[in-house]
Structure formats: structure tokens, C-alpha cells
Amino acid sequence: MPGMIIRTKIVATVGPACGSVERLGELARAGCDVFRINFSHGTDEQREAFLANIRQVEQELGEPLAVMGDLCGPKIRVGPIVGGGVLLVDGQEIVIQREPKIVEGDTRRISTTLGELIDEARQGQSILLDDGKLRLRVVRTEAPERIVCQVVRGGVLGSGKGVNLPNTDLALPALTEKDRNDAAWIASREFDYVALSFVRTARDVMQLRELLDAAGCDARIVAKIEKPQAVKNIEEIVQVADAVMVARGDLGVEMDLPAVPVAQKHIANLCRREGTLCIVATQMLESMTNSPTPTRAEVSDVANAVLDHADAVMLSGETAVGKFPTASVRMMNQIVRHVQSYYDETAEPMRVSYARARTEAALASAVREIMAVERIAAVAVYTGTGTTARLFAKSRLKCPILGLAPSAAVARRMCMYYGVASRQAAAPEHTREVLALAEQFAVQLGVAGSGDRIVVVSGRPVGQAGSANTLVVHTVG
């Protein structure tokens, strides 16, 4: 569809399957807006190469691309196991040992990367292994060195598999030593978003913000919701995070699976109300890791995330290690495009009422009123921080939003915003120059032509944070 901008953004995880300049370029042309670099895997040298390749693609395309660094968080994993894996049988007993250096796991005993698990676990509590595929129940504790468990649901357990304690509120720091080192590494490079894993409270987010601020880093923070405590504290988390990710992998292990879709809808609705970005992630097109086509259920899952008002949907293993990374992005792009067409025919633009940005909310309301009586081809915003464009995006206007920014960092930041196409543009001195920039951008994108009308929003002084106060209905010449 000529001039159509796909409004739901796509996040793709970078890995061995797509880390080259050539493949990253394919993903960007297929519809990827944000590239995620996962700090749970690989080395700093590999991540440095991924980042350099993304920026090369950005330069070649002449369009901004955002990069998100995803911190590991306090993920607990199984220690080393003899031969790489053993079979645990239903009903058998198995010991979890405190110190991994003392034991190489077998069918009788294993260790984990968190020695304190021995202190925290209580009789009768569940311990889940390998994303919940295996389940243990604590029979007794034999402090200070071990606990004895019974295998409730067995299977093959491999080295390094994840460990979850859904009934235990572990006293772990939000930022591990590795996270702090990785955050410092990120802060010294051109990252646009930093994702914090296993968030439990708003304070966890604020600790990362303090660390980034101290390093002079303005990257936006994504709070990953993957624990029941985070769902319980979601309202305060949404207030302090720039974006929230419904990370359904660990969340689906820590909570009852049928509760996860309800949590997704609740979180997305709260983010819409508060003007916070919402990303839905995990297993969205999982079968495309090894298959050129997704299942019908996966297609519906992506579509429903869009209808839940997600700003972005994310691919993980599908692009990082899958056989069909480009096809996965292209398929996701096709799904969100079809949902967008349906949405534009059936839904009304949303009202916004953000206590923290009343002027921007009022301007968004004014734009809706104008669009109700006049055909508007696009809404252009010149913004110093991206805030006005973000709040316009949360209004779900039925036309493209063109985000113009004085810096590359802000233009990249807007790559995560629903419905926003962004570009860097030198700060103009007068409103008429903003109108000329907006018209040029709209024509270049093919969303407006001669005689079409666009709404242009800016402030005085132009580009200064918090100054948005001018709205002009402009006819393209």
C-alpha cells in the first residue's frame, strides 16, 4: 500500500543467525525498527560487532534504527551436569547442593548458580527447571549445605537450564555485578534502550536510572515483567519506567499459564493510560525458528498483541538463532499491517489524559477534533525529547505521525513509538521552517502530496523540551 507506514513496531533479537551487515540490512528492510542485543549470551567483542554493524546499516539506509541492550538480571541456572544432561524420573529424590564447585550434577544431586537458594527454599515449595518443563517439590532442608527434593514432573535436565522458584520471594538485588558492568559498557556506547530483567518494584527501575544518570547516559529503561511480584506492583513500575515488556517466558513459568494473557491485557491497558510504551515478547512466532511459516495460533497471538494496544512486538530466538530470521520479521510485519487496516476501519482514536504532560494531552485532543471534521494525511511533530510524539502515538491516531528531532538519539528513540516515522533535522528558528521540514518529510515518505493537509505541532523555542504549544493545519504545496 503506497505511503502506508506500519505503525506497530518490531523488535528483533540479534544473534549468530543475523549479526552480519548483510543480514541486519535484510531485517531492517523487512520491517525491523529496534534491534535487541541480549547480554545473557556472547562476549563484549561480539556485542561490539553487532552494534557497529547495526549503525553501518543505519547509515546505508539513511533511516534511524534503535538498539536495546537487555541485561541478564539475577537469573538462576543449573550448574554443570555429567555429560551435559541427565534423566530425572517422576517420584525420585534429588539433592540440590549449595556449592557448584563441589559437585558435578548427576541423577542424585545437582547445584545451581545461586547458593542462597538453600537458605530461601522451604518445605513444600516448588522449584521449576528448564522453563517449567521439570518440577521439583522441596521435601526437607538440610542446612547449611543442601535441600532434598522430590521430582514431581521429570525429564532430561541439562547444564545451564533456568531455575524458577514461583512461591519464593528471593532476596536478590535487581542489578547483579555483571549487570552493573554491562550497564556501564552500554552507557559508553550508542544504545537507545536498556532492558532490566526480573523487575519486582519501581525501586529496581530507579536503581538502574541512577546508575545510567551517573554515567551520563540518556538511554530509556524497559522494565521486563516476568515475575508475579512485578505484576502485583505494576502500577508503580509503569509510573517510573519508560517502557514495559510483557516477557511471557519466565512470567509463564512463575505464574499459572492461563493467567498470563490476562496479565498481558491488564499491563497493556495500564501502559496506554499512563503513556508508557508496551512491548509484548516471547514465543510470538516460535515455530519459525525452524520453519519458514508460523502456526495459525502464533499469527493470532501477534494480532491480539496489536489489538491489546502494544506499541511493539518482539522476536527472540526466531531471529537470533533461527533458520529464517528475515522471513520471521517479514511475516510479523505482514500480520501487524493487516491488523492495522482492520483497526483503522473499526476503532476510534483514544483519549489521553496524562497528569504529567497536560499540554501534550491537550494538543493530542485538539488533533483528534480536527481529524473528526477534516481529512488529515499526517501529523508532524518537532520534538526535543520525543515526549510529544510518544503521547501522540498513545492516542492511536489513524494517520502517520512524523517525528522530527534535533538529535540522532531522539530520532532513534522514536523508532519504538507506535505509528511514528522519525528523522533527525537541524533545529529550525521559526515555525515556517518547521512547516517546510514537515512537508518535505511527508512528501518524501509518500504519505502526503500537493493539496493534502497535515497537522504540524512544535513549540517556541523550537525543539526545547517541554515547549510544545503550537498547532498548525498546513496545506502541502
| Phi–psi pair at 453, nearest 5 degrees | -110, 135
| pLDDT exceeds cutoff 80 at 3 | no
Q: What is the pLDDT of residues 92-142, one digit of tens each?
A: 999 999 876 656 899 999 999 888 888 888 999 999 999 899 999 999 988
- Contact between 391 and 275 (Cβ < 8 Å): yes
Stated pTM of the model: 0.92
Instruction: Specify whether 394 is catalytic.
Output: no
| pLDDT exceeds cutoff 90 at 72 | yes
- Contact between 344 and 398 (Cβ < 8 Å): yes
Which pLDDT value is given to residue 467? 67
| pLDDT exceeds cutoff 70 at 466 | no
Ordered by where they begin, the domains of the chain are: 9-72+174-345 (3.20.20.60), 76-164 (2.40.33.10), 358-475 (3.40.1380.20)
Q: What is the pLDDT of residues 375-407, one digit of tens each?
A: 999 999 999 999 999 989 988 888 999 999 999
Q: How far apart are CA 454 and CA 21, in angstroms?
A: 36
Instruction: Specify whether 75 is catalytic.
Output: no
What is the average pLDDT score of the chain?
92
Which residues contact residue 214 at a Cβ distance below 8 angstroms, ignoring those fewer than 6 apart?
none
- Write down the catalytic residue from 23, 29, 77, 109: 77
Alpha-carbon Rg of the chain, whole angstroms?
24
Grid cell, residue 113, equals 548458580
pLDDT more than 90, % of the chain? 76
Which residues contact residue 79 at a Cβ distance below 8 angstroms, ignoring those fewer than 6 apart?
100, 103, 104, 105, 110, 111, 112, 113, 159
Q: What is the pLDDT of residues 27-37, one digit of tens each?
A: 999 999 999 99
Q: How far apart are CA 394 and CA 367, in angstroms?
A: 13
Encoded amino acid at 219, one letter: A
Which pLDDT value is given to residue 150? 97
Which pLDDT value is given to residue 8? 97
- Write down the catalytic residue from 7, 9, 36, 55: 36
- Write down the catalytic residue from 13, 282, 319, 326: 282
Grid cell, residue 179, equals 549487570
Q: Which residue has the higher pLDDT, 40 or 205?
A: 205
Instruction: Specify whether 133 is catalytic.
Output: no
Please count the residues of the chain.
477
Encoded amino acid at 398, one letter: K
Q: What is the pLDDT of residues 188-226, one digit of tens each?
A: 999 999 999 999 999 999 999 999 999 999 999 999 999
- In this prediction, residues 457-461 reach a mean pLDDT of 79
Q: What is the pLDDT of residues 316-348, one digit of tens each?
A: 999 999 999 999 999 999 999 999 988 877 766
Q: Give the burial class of 243: count Cβ atoms within 10 A of its Cβ; 0-12 exposed, 13-18 middle, 19 or more buried.
A: buried
Say if strands 162-164 and 134-142 run parallel, antiparallel, or are unpaired.
unpaired
Q: How far is CA 156 from CA 50, 84, 135, 153, 283, in A?
A: 33, 10, 12, 10, 22
**How far out from the chain centre does Cα 421 lie?**
18
Instruction: Specify whether 137 is catalytic.
Output: no
Q: How far apart are CA 242 and CA 221, in angstroms?
A: 5
- Write down the catalytic residue from 98, 224, 390, 413: 224
Q: How far apart are CA 54 and CA 49, in angstroms?
A: 9
- Contact between 304 and 290 (Cβ < 8 Å): no
Grid cell, residue 388, equals 510529544
